[in-house]
Amino acid sequence: MIENIKDLEKLLKICRKQGVQEIDLGTIKFKLGELPVDIKPAEEPEAYSNGPTDEELAMYSVQVSN
């Protein structure tokens, strides 16, 4: 059955994939928690990351001079 750590890793991966939350092997019991969730920072819209466009700069200069 489970003879080494690699066998245990395989068992745990299969259980996670199938949604198993508890494993009872007689004298050994495992309770699997929730998988960690990767939280990625929100990406900025391209309009904000590249600065104003040429058209926006032209409009700004017209508004400032009035």
More confident residue, 13 or 43: 13
Annotate 8-65 with DSSP letters as a single string: HHHHHHHHHHHT--EEE-SS-EEE--PPP---PPPPPPHHHHS---HHHHHHHHHHHH
pLDDT at 6: 92
Q: What is the pTM of this model?
A: 0.46
Q: Quick: pLDDT tens for 48-66.
A: 556 778 888 888 877 665 5
Q: Residue 64's closest CA among 47, 56, 54?
A: 56
pLDDT at 10 over 70: yes
